[in-house]
């Protein structure tokens, strides 16, 4: 499980216990394990790609602690918000064979599940970035939760989201994308909240508030 920007593994509440209970009832012969990846969100010098490398290191270490990866071993990712961007870039670069992203993992990923991930960015990240100097001046601790680089990556139409989109749609990567689609099971969740529409001018500039408090529905679709 991979949390989002400015968050911690507590984001997922009792999900670990619930998943273990369900998995045990589904298949008692499989060694199910559930763990959370906690990364240095709020670090001004790190971005999504840094966290993606660290996620690959984390997964590899977990398997190494139990004797290494075996042919039958599988892992799945459950990610919230920025966590989905981290996971996606790990998967893309692992399949592309980049050594920093542990290419051996590509043969073992099963499911890829995201909850409110801004694949193509969110306007509210632009608003938050502009608020950073004010928060710092007022000594409001939120500044310590959102790193400059990671927040910039999450802005709508950021250089990072454009680069990621190009990686997915460029013909040069079509064979790799097809391999990922053939192997990995994708499940994408989005949330809608209409009760906060009165805040729309502060987040979107129009009549509808961005969903999941940050992510517009189209941006939360990987196939946007």
**Tens of pLDDT, residues 163-193:** 999 999 999 999 999 999 999 999 999 877 6
Please count the other Cβ atoms lying within 10 Å of the Cβ belonging to residue 92: 20
φ/ψ bin of 122: left (φ > 0), alpha (ψ from -120 to 50), beta (otherwise): beta
Pair 116, 220: CB distance under 8 Å: yes
> Please, what's the b/e burial string for 127-152 (b: 16 or more CB within 10 A of its CB; e: otherwise)?
bbbeeeeebeeeeeeebeebbbbbbb
> 5 or 133: whose pLDDT is higher?
5
- pLDDT one-digit tens code per residue, 84-120: 999 999 999 999 999 999 999 999 999 999 998 999 9
> CA 186 to CA 63: how far, in whole Å?
23
Position 126 scores a pLDDT of: 74
Q: State the pLDDT at residue 125.
A: 79
Please report, for residues 35, 178, 213, the alpha-carbon distance to residue 119 in angstroms, rounded to integers and kept in the order given. 24, 19, 15
Neighbours of 14 (CB within 10 A): 8
* Of residues 111, 106, 117, the one with CA closest to residue 19: 111
- CA-CA-CA-CA dihedral for 7, 115, 90, 143, to nearest 10: -30
Contact 211/193 with Cβ under 8 angstroms? yes
Are residues 209 and 196 in contact, defined by beta-carbon separation less than 8 angstroms?
yes
> CA 83: distance to chain centroid?
2
Model confidence over 46-74: pLDDT tens digits?
Answer: 999 999 999 999 999 999 999 999 999 99
Which pLDDT score, from 0 to 100, does residue 157 have?
A: 85
Spatial distance between the Cα atoms of 61 and 54, rounded to a whole number of angstroms: 10
SS (H, E, C) 73-96: CCEEEEEECHHHHHHHHHHHHHHC
């Amino acid at each position: 499980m991979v949390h989002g920007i400015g968050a911690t593994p507590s984001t997922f509440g009792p999900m670990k216990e619930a998943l273990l209970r369900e998995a045990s009832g589904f298949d008692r012969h499989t060694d199910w394990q559930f763990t959370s990846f906690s990364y240095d969100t709020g670090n001004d010098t790190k971005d999504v790609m840094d966290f993606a490398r660290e996620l690959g290191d984390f997964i590899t270490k977990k398997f190494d602690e139990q004797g290494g990866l075996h042919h039958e071993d599988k892992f799945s990712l459950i990610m919230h918000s920025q966590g989905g961007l981290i996971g996606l870039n790990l998967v893309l670069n692992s399949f592309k064979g980049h050594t920093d992203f542990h290419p051996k993992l590509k043969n073992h990923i099963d499911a890829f599940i995201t909850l409110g991930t801004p694949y193509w960015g969110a306007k509210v990240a632009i608003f938050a970035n502009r608020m950073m100097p004010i928060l710092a001046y007022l000594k409001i601790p939120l500044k310590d939760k959102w790193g400059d680089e990671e927040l910039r990556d999450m802005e709508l139409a950021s250089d990072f989201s454009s680069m990621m989109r190009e990686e997915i749609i460029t013909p040069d990567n079509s064979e790799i994308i097809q391999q990922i689609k053939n192997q990995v099971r994708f499940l994408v969740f989005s949330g809608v909240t209409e009760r906060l529409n009165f805040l729309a001018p502060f987040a979107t500039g129009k009549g509808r508030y961005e969903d999941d408090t940050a992510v517009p529905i189209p941006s939360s679709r990987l196939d946007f």
